[in-house]
Amino acid sequence: MGSPGDGTVEEPVNREPPAEELVQSSLTASKRPGTPDPEAYDRNHGPIQYINASTHKLAIRSEPALGSSDVLPTPIDVTLSMDDLGHKFRQHTVICALQCAGNRRNELRSRVKEVTGVDWGDGAVMNAAWTGPLLRDVLVDCGLSAKRYLKEYDGLHVQLECNATKVQEDEWYGSSVPLEVVVDPEREALLALHMNGTPLPARHGGPVRAIIPGIIGARSVKWLDTIIVSSRESQNHYQQHDYKILPAEATSPEKAEELGVWDSTPAMQDNPVNSVVTVPAHDGDEVKRDRHGRVRIAGYAIPHGKGGPVERVQVSIDKGNTWMDARILDDGDEKTTHPANKGKGDSRGKFSWVLWEVEDVEVQPAENVSIWSKATDRAGNTMDEKVPEGNWNLRGVGYNAVQGRTGVRIV
């Protein structure tokens, strides 16, 4: 049963926790213990769905036009129950940060120029342990040929759909990722049945959702009911006319249509490398020095795509003239490492965020201080300090400016 708090097509539920509270734990709970308040963000284009797991089915098929090929020797047309997904296939756990493509949009809007979209702060991100069968295993079991080289899957896509309800801009919600992403063993794409060791809650897509690690959250479709192997991307509005980094000349929705850039701009896939300052929590905050004249700065960082984990975070309080290394908090609290990954020797997963802090910053009292942070992942992806305020785009997506907090007062 739904409730008034579950939103409607016209007014979906979109909410985020304060980022400074979000980073109190390495793994993000669905709700704050003992309260109805969210600890993880919600991003929806329609009402939250409540689906009976005992009767829910997942339809998996291939596009008839594909015919027979080396990749698809025979057409796929399979229906699986939640019991099939939970017991027929090996269960896999991946610790993965999901981030809305519009995370930090408020900073871009307020510091650079107006953008369109939900006015997200810094909390449209979560980090959780997701468990279920690998999507690759399911597709191979359904008839997909397991090829040795990913390039053999070039040009094919996996469309992911939730047809349970009408959404704001379409009759249903759909998205897609390249097939090579799904079959890449380094990606660990899965059909999540559990979140942090408990059945996936309805508000996060239960009874089953896609989890595509390293990819923007819009592609990890919730309340999943249909998967299609296709020769083309999803034609849904949210693949074709949203979640794209439009060129700078698209200065308004009308200009974007006039220029035809929606069709020529690729759909976002990988998350950009990003670091967010959560302490201090807001522009203009007052930060008090301790008796030794030191202040604490903290935050979180996520890697680019599958380039993780984040291996270095640097902080500057003099607009990039000097940088200091932050301490990455691998140990955290009791929720840092999911039990399924105990003993693997690396709690800092490829797709996980990292929490970081600098505690011994010795500073003098000052006004109008800017705090910058810069993350670098294992693959060498790093943030651009040459454009500290970040690059503008009409939808305000993929924002990863090194400029974290502005107008800070140190006393």
As a whole number of angstroms, the longest Cα–Cα distance in the chain is 73
Q: Catalogue all structural domains in the chain, each as residue range(s) with its CATH number.
A: 14-259 (3.90.420.10), 274-410 (2.60.40.650)
Q: How buried is 284 (Cβ within 10 angstroms: 0-12 exposed, 13-18 middle, 19+ buried)?
A: exposed
Give CA angle at 125 (120, 126), nearest 5°.
Answer: 150
DSSP letters of 56-110? -EEEEEE-GGG-S-SS-SS--EEEEEHHHHHHTS-EEEEEEEEE-TTTTHHHHHH
Pairing label, strands 190-192, 209-211: antiparallel
Contact 193, 82 (CB under 8 A): yes
Check residue 6 and report its DSSP letter: G
Per-residue pLDDT, 224: 98
Residue 10: alpha-carbon gap to chain centroid: 24
Per-residue pLDDT, 4: 60
Contact 132, 210 (CB under 8 A): no
Instruction: For residue 158, give the amino acid letter.
Output: V
pTM of the model: 0.93
Per-residue pLDDT, 68: 82
Per-residue pLDDT, 30: 80
First to last CA, the chain: 51
Distance between CA atoms of residues 7 and 30, nearest Å = 17
Please identify which residue in the block is written with the tokens 């992942």: 377
In tens digits, what is the pLDDT along the chain, a chain of 411 residues?
A: 456 689 999 999 999 999 999 998 999 988 777 766 668 999 999 999 999 999 999 999 999 988 888 899 999 999 999 999 999 999 999 999 999 999 999 999 999 999 999 999 999 999 999 999 999 999 999 999 998 888 899 999 999 999 999 999 999 999 999 999 999 999 999 999 999 999 999 999 999 999 999 999 999 999 999 999 999 999 999 999 999 999 999 999 999 999 999 999 999 999 999 999 999 999 999 999 999 999 999 999 999 999 999 999 999 999 999 999 999 997 543 334 444 444 333 457 899 999 999 987 888 999 999 999 999 999 999 999 999 999 999 999 999 999 999 999 999
Distance between CA atoms of residues 197 and 209, nearest Å = 15
Task: Name beta bridge partners: 228.
Answer: 61, 159
The CA–CA distances, whole Å, from 304 to 143, 337, 354 equal: 31, 21, 13
What is residue 34's three-state secondary structure?
Answer: coil
